[in-house]
Structure 1
């Protein structure tokens, strides 16, 4: 499959090698932060993004801020630009929304030790119905502009594609931007995390080309704060573990914790499953309106530690019995994360054992529940009564 990707690049006249984007040194663990789309959609503006940056930087949950826990990207989604480019081809910031410009917004978040993300589209116009300028044919101009603005992440969507779009042209479009970002880095020194948002549109799979040219890539259609959607996305993302590694991660879309339509059990499931699947943890709710319970879910240090483990492994499913799933993820210090995930509509007992989960066969294991924080000991069996739509999440240590 690697040969196919190289052939596509040669046809498009681009000389970048497929693995080059992964050598940018970014996303050694899944990125964490915030994206405004699910909170305010096209009503994004400077005041709101500053408010979120301030919240990440200053609001303490159990003694520490979300920024201190690793949430450091503040990502602006669609609708930040004016509908037309300038005469020189550059994108124009909507100054009614961002009076200090995107560079001013970058300066603001950087002063707090945070990072700024921006949104663009690989077609002629962006996805919002107002249709802001896309970057197709303007890749070098736009990448250099973002780099000069000191943008740290760029999310690249896939609307309004050319009429003759197909697999090869999709790969060429996304690869062209990847090369443009690297060229902009060479000119300015500004590294930009490349977030691909092709989503498998028109039946074009995001594999194997996305992991070769980007840092993270969407694996499913857009998320919504509804259990059937969350369940579907988890099911689609679970089998993709072989593609994940430091610098390159599957992205099943934003965290919906706090958006109001999920139960606390379902919110804990999303945090648990995104953590064991090594998915980006990008908050999609207005944090200033989130409940203390929601904030505590997002601030779960044990879940975050599993997500940010330096091995960069995505948890692998070791069993699935009628929707009662077991996932296992090896961790850098020799521990193993275990998720007992119940996607069904009834409570059930889910069990696994050390051998099935890929651990060494020894006499004794320490089992920490990452939600209750209770520690127990086991001779090899890991089991829990899991509520409907719930996930029991454990860190297992071999102790003798």
Structure 2
């Protein structure tokens, strides 16, 4: 997959064949005999992919994340997506491929061993769909697996042993893109089975004149980045993505270190986009799109565009961000720093500029900073800085910095440019002080407006606003006539949520307006989130019953008093570690974080922790307890073979306590972690 994200989930599909699923390049394994047609057609095939395809990362749509195998996945839907590409400007923005995923075929081949499109879903066959998509100036993609069956529970025909016949059918139908999955592969060596399909696609291309982009989807099991550039055009580097912040973040972290392997015609693929599917906020989706673009990842829309919001189209259609992904130089962005979840990733562009992502993975606003020279630009007196989400240009003396909202990304393009002075100076907004408040109690905050430009900011004014009914008052000057380079305007504020305000998250906005020396008006806005919280009760409480501030989870939601079910809330099982069942606690999936407000009134956190028994032998995780940004307790790596382990931490004086589960350092497999009998003493 693609579809089935954990090894355990894949075992549910292949049953008794599970032992043969995972293979290592070079490991001797019994292979299916190659049909005679394969041996004949394989002659004179180039040993490497060098065909001019996918010189920039493929862009398009795949139905799986939004429809799976539901009945709505059919010919009408596919044609409708092609129509939307044209009507909404996605085609003009660069999206090309309309790709079918699993479930397009009947469960059995015909008497001649050929694949048969499902007549209920595709009554006119795949060729007719391809003709329609091509008539819109777009391209069609299709899916199968490098095994005897695909990954779906129904087990549609895979291509193992039928590579040349299937590739010829795809080419005859007018298919332009193949996603080749990894289920039911019978233990056949990964390099061998993916190379065979490469050879088959090239043979079909010679007979039909139709080139096919080849997407290798073996989940990063065998480090395809080390060998797949001579086999396909892109390769999955991770397991499947899900529509959650934790899943996206985990996959991002796995793909970022692989920058050296990407380039024109050979791309790291961290899986499809979840933008618009509803499991993340728009801020998180902008981060998702920004980071996939700076990584030069394929941009395959995974949401149902028939139901997409205007904001979803705005994100997916941002041409300045798309231009980063599609830059012809083909560089994948490189990580310059990541301390404390504050990431700086820089990508060299063909025109000599640099795109820089200031990415904040944490749950609170953070300052993220670098310099023009640090990202690889030559020393210059000033630079032009273009904000790719605000679509505004500024000048900077060399500092590239921003206070980035929780889970947000500021994406800028920076260049040496003799015309920098025509742009207003860049300013950085900041806000010091806790955005956690109890209803009816005043909190003190301090805003800063800092001039990052080579020129002064004139007539500077700053405003902090909150929800209707909140008291927000400046207690020091909020204006200044001139702000020279490097200087800051600091303003103190008193903020009060009215008595009776319900616990939850509320939007604040810090806004600065100013003018350049030539009179050009500019503004900068920092969206913020304040949390109205309730003091924890005295005594000992179960963390499975207390309200949390925030959660992130690798797959599905964090569960209260059950294990993690991976899909909808409430679909878990009793918490069970080492055969012992626990009545209360938290069920999570690495990477995971759960935050609680403790209001400096609590002393200890205790729990029994381990990998839930439902995950077989694959799970390995580590547990951590953090108090106000400091790790105060941790376990080593725990596996499913171990009994629950006690963990406790002194959290005296902490305002926020955070429970973290990592993947144990070996990537995410079946990493269901249980915080059993988790208690907070206050």
TM-score between both structures, scaled by the size of structure 2: 0.55
Secondary structure of 1:217's counterpart equals strand
Instruction: Identify if the C-alpha distance between structure 1 residues 287 and 329 changes in structure 2 by more than 3 Å, giving closer, same or farther.
Output: same
- For 1:255-314, what per-residue CA distance to the aligned partner results, in whole angstroms no more than 9, with x for missing partners? 111100111110000110011000011000001111101110111010001111010111
Secondary structure of 2:158's counterpart equals coil
Which of 163, 176, 179 is the equivalent residue of 2:196? 176
Q: Which residue of 2 aligns with 1:194?
A: 214
Q: Which residue of 2 aligns with 1:253?
A: 271
Give 5+ residue unaligned stretches, structure 2: 1-23, 419-682
Q: Which residue of 2 aligns with 1:337?
A: 355
Secondary structure of 2:159's counterpart equals coil
Q: Which residue of 1 aligns with 2:74?
A: 45
Offset at residue 18 of structure 1 (A): 7.9
Q: Which residue of 2 aligns with 1:268?
A: 286
Q: Which residue of 2 aligns with 1:55?
A: 84
Residues 21-170 of structure 1 aligned to structure 2 (within 5 Å): 21=49, 23-43=50-70, 44-59=73-88, 65-162=89-186, 164-165=187-188, 169-170=189-190
CA distance in 1, matches of 2:220, 2:291: 21
Q: Which residue of 2 aligns with 1:355?
A: 373
Instruction: Identify if the C-alpha distance between structure 1 residues 18 and 321 changes in structure 2 by more than 3 Å, giving closer, same or farther.
Output: farther
Offset at residue 374 of structure 1 (A): 2.4
Offset at residue 207 of structure 1 (A): 2.9
Number of corresponding residues:
383
CA distance in 2, matches of 1:225, 1:286: 13
Offset at residue 7 of structure 1 (A): 12
Secondary structure of 1:383's counterpart equals strand
CA distance in 2, matches of 1:330, 1:7: 38
Does residue 374 in structure 1 map to residue 392 in structure 2? yes
Instruction: Identify if the C-alpha distance between structure 1 residues 156 and 394 changes in structure 2 by more than 3 Å, giving closer, same or farther.
Output: same
Task: Answer whether contact 1:5 1:18 (CA < 8 A) is retained.
Answer: no
Q: Which residue of 1 aligns with 2:48?
A: 20
CA distance in 2, matches of 1:67, 1:260: 23
Offset at residue 350 of structure 1 (A): 0.3
Task: Answer whether contact 2:225 2:235 (CA < 8 A) is retained.
Answer: no
Residues 318-333 of structure 1 aligned to structure 2 (within 5 Å): 318-333=336-351
Q: Which residue of 1 aligns with 2:316?
A: 298
Deviates more, 1:356-365 or 1:129-138: 356-365
Task: Answer whether contact 1:364 1:380 (CA < 8 A) is retained.
Answer: yes
Task: Answer whether contact 1:365 1:380 (CA < 8 A) is retained.
Answer: yes
Residues 207-218 of structure 1 aligned to structure 2 (within 5 Å): 207-218=225-236
Instruction: Identify if the C-alpha distance between structure 1 residues 30 and 100 changes in structure 2 by more than 3 Å, giving closer, same or farther.
Output: same
- Structure (1 or 2) with the greater helix fraction: 1
TM-score between both structures, scaled by the size of structure 1: 0.92
Q: Which residue of 2 aligns with 1:228?
A: 246
Secondary structure of 2:93's counterpart equals coil
Moved over 4 A (4+): 4-8, 11-19
CA distance in 1, matches of 2:228, 2:247: 23
- Structure (1 or 2) with the greater strand fraction: 2
Does residue 278 in structure 1 map to residue 296 in structure 2? yes
Q: Which residue of 1 aligns with 2:262?
A: 244
Offset at residue 319 of structure 1 (A): 1.3
Secondary structure of 2:344's counterpart equals strand
Offset at residue 200 of structure 1 (A): 2.2
CA distance in 2, matches of 1:266, 1:279: 17
Secondary structure of 2:401's counterpart equals strand
Give 5+ residue unaligned stretches, structure 1: 60-64
C-alpha RMSD of matched pairs (Å)? 1.9
CA distance in 1, matches of 2:112, 2:47: 32
CA distance in 2, matches of 1:224, 1:16: 41
CA distance in 1, matches of 2:52, 2:213: 9
- For 1:224-247, what per-residue CA distance to the aligned partner results, in whole angstroms no more than 9, with x for missing partners? 110000000110010011111111
CA distance in 1, matches of 2:75, 2:57: 26
Which of 205, 209, 227 is the equivalent residue of 1:185? 205
Structure ranking higher on relative contact order (CA contacts 8 Å, 6+ apart)? 1
- For 1:38-60, what per-residue CA distance to the aligned partner results, in whole angstroms no more than 9, with x for missing partners? 1111122101111111111123x
CA distance in 1, matches of 2:25, 2:154: 34
- For 1:303-331, what per-residue CA distance to the aligned partner results, in whole angstroms no more than 9, with x for missing partners? 00111101011111111112111111111
CA distance in 1, matches of 2:62, 2:372: 38
